[in-house]
């Protein structure tokens, strides 16, 4: 028998355009689950923040929501900006899909480590656009990583 705890959404998510609350179940690694009341605009990042607060977990950037398709033995980490309601709406009715709250230590590794380790010169130098513009390997990587996430641009180093 599974026992779920209902957690109301944070006040900043109760704006006029997000009036309708929906319940989303999120499981922990130990199999317990919590039912969260969320709005259409609630992102995976917001859900992780709610769960960290309610479970008194250590607050860090490693917490993630994982979309699990048990019958297919597949799982996918949600990106921070994804709407959990929209993701859940794609699941088949009566299916065994679920969200799991889990740490992902590699979540921001691209932004914390040297981007050159992810994009070796051999891989980047084959880009014809860069060759035509005379851009160096470092310049190309800097342009690419600056487009990835302005939220974490302060974590990048070259």
Secondary structure of residue 58 in the 3-state scheme: coil
pLDDT at 138 over 70: yes
Model confidence pLDDT, tens digit, residues 107-136? 877 667 666 666 667 666 655 555 556 777
The CATH architecture that domain 4-103 belongs to is Roll (3.10)
Tokens of 59: 């607050």
pTM, to two decimals: 0.64
Per-residue pLDDT, 148? 62
Per-residue pLDDT, 69? 93
CB contact at 8 A, 8 and 53: no
Burial class (CB in 10 A: 0-12, 13-18, 19+), 84: buried
Parse the chain into domains and list their residue ranges.
Answer: 4-103, 109-150
pLDDT at 12 over 60: no
CB contact at 8 A, 107 and 77: yes
């Amino acid at each position: 028998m599974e026992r779920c705890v209902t957690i109301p959404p944070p006040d900043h998510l109760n704006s006029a355009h997000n009036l309708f609350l929906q319940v989303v179940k999120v499981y922990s690694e130990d199999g317990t689950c919590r039912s969260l009341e969320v709005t259409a605009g609630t992102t995976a990042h917001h859900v992780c923040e709610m769960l960290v607060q309610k479970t008194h977990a250590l607050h860090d950037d490693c917490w993630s929501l994982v979309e699990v398709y048990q019958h297919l033995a597949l799982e996918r980490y949600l990106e921070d900006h994804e709407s959990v309601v929209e993701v859940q709406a794609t699941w088949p009715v009566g299916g065994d899909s679920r969200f799991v709250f889990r740490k992902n230590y590699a979540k921001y590794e691209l932004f914390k480590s040297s981007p050159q380790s992810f994009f070796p010169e051999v891989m980047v130098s084959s880009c014809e656009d860069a060759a035509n513009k005379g851009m160096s390997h470092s310049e190309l990587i800097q342009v690419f990583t600056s487009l990835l996430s302005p939220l974490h641009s302060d974590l990048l180093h070259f």
